[in-house]
Amino acid sequence: MNNNGLALDFGPSLFRRDSNSAASGAGILNDIESFLRRFLVMTDAQFAGVTLWIAHTHAFRAAIWTPYLAVTSAEKRCGKSRVLEVVSYLVRSAWQTSGASAAALFREIEKKRPTLLLDEVDALFKADKEMSQAIRGILNAGAHYKGTISRIVGKGTEMNSKDFACFCPKVLSGIGFLPDTVADRSLHIRLKRKLRSEKVERLRERHIAPQAAPIRARLSKWMEEQLPVLKDAEPRIPEQLNDRQQDGAECLLAIADVAGGDWPEKARKALIELYTGDCSEDQSHTTVLLGDIKSIFEEKNCDRLSSGDLIAALVQKETSPWAEWNHGKPLTAISLARLLKSFQIAPRTIRQDDGGPAKGYLRESFEDAFARFLPAECLSPNFDPLHPLQSSVYAGERHFSDPLQKASVTFQKSEESPMFTQVVTDVTGQKPEYELLQEKASGKTNGKTVPEVRCPNCGTRDFYRGHGRCLACGIESDFTHIQ
């Protein structure tokens, strides 16, 4: 009954019991889920994920990794703090705080190994840079059982370096999104403001604490009994999860498998949904950039784009920051090159559809990065990420079959490559060597006709690169016979 005397329907899972025994693992997990459903509005996958995570806090010492529970929302009053309140009744050794300094965090974790319920993390990460980096360092290190953070302790001549352990279960609650490295270690519970039609019980501590205590005691006892099994467990992990997600999911799936009932199947479905949902996608600028570039190549159905055309398409992305990338100004070619440099992708001279040269990017240069850093499969069906395409210095050119086509670039050795690369030259009165070779290959030189020349390798009549490289097959050949 709610405050208005109306009966509340919490679904078929409310107060479910395992068919064999209410004291079994499945029965305990069912009771935890039912307890959560009395006070919270979440999806079925979120209820399952939070339930398993609560159980994990009582057995985290048997795990190598602990997944953080990231409880976030787009706005206030979406139930984040309520989740922390409800969870605090069931987890092991809860320590709820919203304004701890970095020093307080790692000292308390070292001393008590609590379950940290850290509220208002968005404010902590917006604090001064030094404090924000210190807290981020603790969270980045504390997901692994060997994670430590080093500090100088002592006074005067007795000062020494000490490693503080950071490993413990953590709930991180705040508005917006977590920093990329912290989010990568988290199981995401993205909340929305509940509708008026979504009814839950009012949480009153004087009534709830006595009801939660027996559940927590049963859970603690059961987890203590299962520690030897959980320590050696190697559960089947869904292939849809990446390596970091599999590390975090392993301890939760081990608990689900030990519990039995419908939990093994339910846990895997829930974790796939939570780990691969929109809020779990990599939000880093470079990864967003790769995703936008991939979609632009798809939309334009092309294999190359000039820097200008690519930037023009990027700034049109309403859901991305490129139109106001630099203090309200759009992304520039230099900024784009700098962002892509970390993926070993650089602009190069390419041939445009009109035959003119321009600085730009080839689709094939991105294939390896698309396959490795984006969640979707690489667009090229024949692309093998274990054997990425080698970007040829000639790949940016189109093959021309018109012997009268005027070349606007010469091919010279550059400092960037020992091979011959395209270098745009100033217009001079003297024809470049490559153009002279074209005329020789086409049978016209200084008004005189010379014998037709074909490539000795493939037999095609095509232009030659400086020092004899066929445009059709790319094989070098001695061109001294072209007279």
The verdict on residue 10 lying in a domain is no
Least Cα distance to 396 among 372, 423, 432, 435 occurs for 423
pLDDT over 80 (residue 330): yes
% of residues, the chain, pLDDT over 90: 55
Lowest-pLDDT choice from 24-38, 83-97, 158-172, 325-339: 325-339
d(CA 79, CA 395): 54
Same domain, 236 and 341: no
Q: C-alpha distances in angstroms, 28 versus 19, 210, 336?
A: 12, 17, 53
d(CA 176, CA 285): 16
Position 356 confidence tier, pLDDT thresholds 50, 70, 90: confident
pTM: 0.66
Same domain, 415 and 387: no
Task: Count CB-CB contacts under 10 A for residue 242.
Answer: 14
Count of CA atoms in the C-beta half-sphere (13 A) of 329: 5
What is the Cα 10 distance to its own chain's centre?
35
The verdict on residue 5 lying in a domain is no
**For residue range 399-450, what is the model confidence (pLDDT) as tens digits?**
333 333 333 333 343 333 333 333 343 444 444 444 444 444 444 444 444 3
Residue 372, pLDDT score: 85
Last residue of a domain, one of 344, 376, 398: 398
Residue 11, pLDDT score: 38
Residue 412 corresponds to which tokens in the numbers above?
Answer: 């010279």
Last residue of a domain, one of 280, 300, 331: 280
Same domain, 423 and 386: no
Q: Tell me the mean pLDDT in the region 210-228.
A: 96
Residue 455, pLDDT score: 59
d(CA 393, CA 158): 60
Same domain, 313 and 377: yes
Altogether, the residues listed in the chain come to a count of 483
d(CA 467, CA 465): 6
Residue 157, pLDDT score: 84
pLDDT over 50 (residue 140): yes
Same domain, 160 and 273: yes
Residue 212, pLDDT score: 96
Same domain, 310 and 238: no
The verdict on residue 9 lying in a domain is no
Residue 442 lies in domain: 404-483
Where is mean pLDDT largest: 259-268, 281-290, 386-395, 435-444?
259-268
Same domain, 239 and 292: no
Least Cα distance to 219 among 91, 46, 403 occurs for 91
The verdict on residue 171 lying in a domain is yes
The verdict on residue 85 lying in a domain is yes
Position 281 confidence tier, pLDDT thresholds 50, 70, 90: low
Position 142 confidence tier, pLDDT thresholds 50, 70, 90: very high
Same domain, 56 and 149: yes
d(CA 369, CA 290): 8
pLDDT over 80 (residue 237): yes
Residue 110 corresponds to which tokens in the numbers above?
Answer: 């070292």
Same domain, 242 and 172: yes
Q: In what order do the strands lie in the sheet with 304-306?
A: 304-306, 357-362, 348-351
Q: Tell me the mean pLDDT in the region 243-253.
A: 95
Same domain, 181 and 202: yes
pLDDT over 70 (residue 478): no
The verdict on residue 14 lying in a domain is no
The verdict on residue 16 lying in a domain is no
d(CA 189, CA 82): 13
Last residue of a domain, one of 228, 262, 280: 280
The verdict on residue 471 lying in a domain is yes
**For residue range 9-58, what is the model confidence (pLDDT) as tens digits?**
433 333 344 444 346 899 999 999 999 999 999 999 999 999 999 999 99
Same domain, 238 and 328: no
pLDDT over 60 (residue 359): yes
User: How many structural domains compose the chain?
Assistant: 3
Kind of pairing between the strands at 186-191 and 68-73? parallel
Residue 130, pLDDT score: 84
Residue type at 121 in one-letter notation = V
pLDDT over 80 (residue 215): yes
Same domain, 321 and 435: no
Least Cα distance to 299 among 308, 289, 310 occurs for 310
